[in-house]
Amino acid sequence: MENAPNRRAVLGGGLLAVAAGPAAACSARSPRPSFDPGDWESVRSQFPLDRSLAHFAAFALAPHLEPVRRAVERHRAGLDRDTAGYLEEDHEGPVFEAAEEYLGASPGEVALTDSTTMGLGLLYGGLRLRPGQEVLTTEHDFYATHESLRLTGHPVRRVALYGDPARASADEIVSRLRAAVRPATRVVAITWVHSGTGVKLPVRAIADMLAEANRGRDEADRALLCVDGVHGLGAEAAAVASLGCDFFSSGTHKWLFGPRGTGVLWGREAAWSAVRPVIPSFSGAGFAGWLGGTEPKGAPGRLATPGGYHSFEHRWALREAFEFHRAIGRERVAARVGEQATRLKEGLAGVRGVRLVTPRDPALSAGLVCCEVPGRDPGAVVSLLRREHRIVAGVTPYARRLVRFGPGLPTTPRQVDQVVKAMAALV
């Protein structure tokens, strides 16, 4: 359709054709404090966290990094100074591009969301399942997956992938899942890193297993692999598109340390046809279809991105979080997280009276480290760690409550040792 409105025109009401002026000047990048991505202390200096505390729960909802904070303020100032004019500028396109590059995605495959939960709701709420088809998920997934699936009304089965998480193995996980897949299984819904135990699933091996199971199936009958990846994105080195899954949902305000209230939903281009958009997009293609009286046609990720007005100053600052990780190097980030997680697991495993729940094998764990002190309430343990040792930890939000730590970019190996000593002093 000729003269179809673009997203900027839609958001701004199509009223202004903005030339360079105050809004354009406001969009220029502000100078940043000196930052050396090769120096871990310099990396830590980008976090505004209270240095009198050891922050092992910063992954839960990210503090705004210095470059993210500056970007948020820049966009907020632009919107406040000339809202209509600032909306006419393309601040969202660069975010899509940065997300696609970091995920290893092709152009148009990524939708922007507000959280992992929103992404899962869009994904599972839009599934096109035929009568007789089902969804297979696991006993270990978080509420957001289980509830999103329940709300669809589709038949859903759950399978346990391991008994004792500390003794889980890749072979056991893959074989249990393979045994549960049926000809009617259209979707396999899993989580990359289990937030309740710290177990990291071998997603690539699961994808290879499903590829074999799908051999000979029609495209409409393929079992699609859908992943909640929030505790792997930003902590693991693997590019999402290399995992072999069909869909991947993640908030970007956890291990990636992006702006609060941001996330991504990625899908293979060929897989997007199995999902219908749930919320109208404000994309140019969406409006062109509406004005032309036809079904919108365009990049599936853009069409799946919920329309409406958002906290744009946060969404548009997401590019800076991707750039931050890219500057450090995803391999170095993953090594830093893994080094500290391994150190913490080894230390806790040697403390009498502490039971390590997360597997010690790095191939089956990422940054999350979960443990318990038999006979002690996890909440009380976390309170004591903060009050007596200035250590911030958390409790898993599951029926089986555990003490949970998340070593990463804001923490140091020395602080990991402090956690081990503090846990030893508490038991």
Residue 74 tokens, joined: 């820049």
Residue 280 tokens, joined: 């109208």
Is the Cβ–Cβ distance between 392 and 53 less than 8 Å?
A: yes
SS3 per residue for the chain: CCCCCCHHHHHHCCCCCCCCCHHHHHCCCCCCCCCCCCCHHHHHCCCCCCCCCEECCCCCCCCCCHHHHHHHHHHHHHHHHCHHHHHHCCCCHHHHHHHHHHHCCCCCCEEEECCHHHHHHHHHHCECCCCCCEEEEECCCCHHHHHHHHHHCCCEEEECCCCCHHHCCHHHHHHHHHHHCCCCEEEEEEECECCCCCEECCHHHHHHHHHHHCCCCCHHHCCEEEEECCCCCCCCCCCHHHCCCCEEEEECCCCCCCCCCCEEEEECCCCHHHECCCCCCCCHHHHHHHHHCCCCCCCHHHHHCCCCCCCHHHHCCHHHHHHHHHHHCHHHHHHHHHHHHHHHHHHHHCCCCCEECCCCCHHHECCCEEEECCCCCHHHHHHHHHHHHCEECEECCCCCCCEEECCCCCCCHHHHHHHHHHHHHHC
Is the Cβ–Cβ distance between 406 and 369 less than 8 Å?
A: yes
Q: Answer whether residue 4 shows pLDDT above 70.
A: no
Average pLDDT over residues 92-109: 97
Average pLDDT over residues 401-414: 98
Q: Answer whether residue 20 shows pLDDT above 80.
A: no
Between CA 107 and CA 331 the distance in angstroms is 23
Query: Which pLDDT does position 53 carry in this prediction?
Result: 98
**What domains can be seen in the chain, in order of their start residue?**
44-59+330-426 (3.90.1150.10), 70-328 (3.40.640.10)
Average pLDDT over residues 64-82: 98
Q: Answer whether residue 324 shows pLDDT above 90.
A: yes
Q: Answer whether residue 21 shows pLDDT above 70.
A: no
**What is the total residue count of the chain?**
427
344-365 pLDDT, tens digit each: 999 999 999 999 999 999 999 9
Q: Answer whether residue 331 shows pLDDT above 50.
A: yes
Look over the chain and give the mean of its residue pLDDT values, rounded to a whole number: 93
Burial track 387-401 (b if 16+ CB lie within 10 A, e otherwise): eebebbbbbbeeeee
Q: Answer whether residue 427 shows pLDDT above 60.
A: yes
Query: Which pLDDT does position 34 carry in this prediction?
Result: 82
Query: Which pLDDT does position 244 carry in this prediction?
Result: 97
Average pLDDT over residues 245-255: 98
Which of 27-41, 284-298, 380-394 is most confident? 380-394
The pLDDT confidence band at residue 286, using thresholds 50, 70 and 90, is very high
Query: Which pLDDT does position 33 carry in this prediction?
Result: 55
Average pLDDT over residues 29-40: 74
Query: Which pLDDT does position 325 carry in this prediction?
Result: 97
360-400 pLDDT, tens digit each: 999 999 999 999 999 999 999 999 999 999 999 999 999 99
Between CA 125 and CA 17 the distance in angstroms is 38
Q: Answer whether residue 149 shows pLDDT above 60.
A: yes
Query: Which pLDDT does position 372 carry in this prediction?
Result: 98
The pLDDT confidence band at residue 62, using thresholds 50, 70 and 90, is very high
Residue 375 tokens, joined: 């006979």
